[in-house]
Amino acid sequence: MKLYGIPLSGHTHRVQLFLSLLNLPHEYVTVDLANAEHKKQPFLSMNAFGEIPVLQDGAVTLADSNAILVYLASKYDDTGRWLPRDPVVGAHVQRWLSVAAGKIAGGPATARLVTVFNAPRDHEAAKTMAVRLFDVMERELQGRRWLVGDHATIADVAGYSYIAHAPEGGVSLKPYPNIRAWLDNVRALPGFVPMPATKAGLAPEEV
């Protein structure tokens, strides 16, 4: 199994994290984004959109981090814990995957793109979206350890990376004790691997 991406990509990290949580051996292949390797062949033959991450598992090649999480949970988790088979619980997990692809991507992930990668995005709009998202998550996590149900699912894996690193994008987690407790719960999972931190964003005392 091969995972193509870069260490500072939260999309890549969520796949790397889940591979580790499932104890699945894999080779990490760093893509040279600075020289636009992801926009050229042969990378484009793996993902025509020219985006990371990409996972190769034998004859299977998959792009999109959330799709990869669904694939790995469906194929390698016989317990059904990570992607519950109950239709209602599974739908709630899908809801958070949609949040990861929408509000998380447009909020904390985009804010961090500006500060870490100097991306030409609207930083203030991204921070505003992040705060609105966190306000909702803080309420939903009241009295709960996980986003869905009573144990970790791929909803938590999909949400963790960019939220944990939101301060790098200038969005403080100080006002959100429930979110911070949830992040600690993810970090405590057996097999957890961190995403490298950067010096961008808020000072430590502001985080």
| More reliable by pLDDT, 201 or 18 | 18
List strands edge to edge, sheet with 27-30: 27-30, 2-5, 54-57, 60-63
Q: How confident is the model at residue 201 (pLDDT cuts 50, 70, 90)?
A: confident
The pTM for the full model equals 0.96
**CA 44 remoteness from chain centre:** 22
pLDDT tens for residues 151-187?
Answer: 999 999 999 999 999 999 999 999 999 999 999 999 9
Supply the mean pLDDT for the chain.
96
Query: pLDDT value at position 193?
Result: 98
A 10 A CB-CB count for 3 gives 21
Q: Locate the DSSP E strands across the chain.
A: 2-5, 27-30, 54-57, 60-63
Query: pLDDT value at position 202?
Result: 79
pLDDT tens for residues 40-97?
Answer: 999 999 999 999 999 999 999 999 999 999 999 999 999 999 999 999 999 999 999 9
pLDDT tens for residues 82-123?
Answer: 999 999 999 999 999 999 999 999 999 999 999 999 999 999
Query: pLDDT value at position 206?
Result: 67
Q: How far apart are CA 81 and CA 148, in angstroms?
A: 11
Question: Quick one: CA dihedral 63, 29, 188, 191, positive or negative?
Answer: positive
Query: pLDDT value at position 87?
Result: 97
Q: Which amino acid is at 121?
A: R
Query: pLDDT value at position 204?
Result: 62
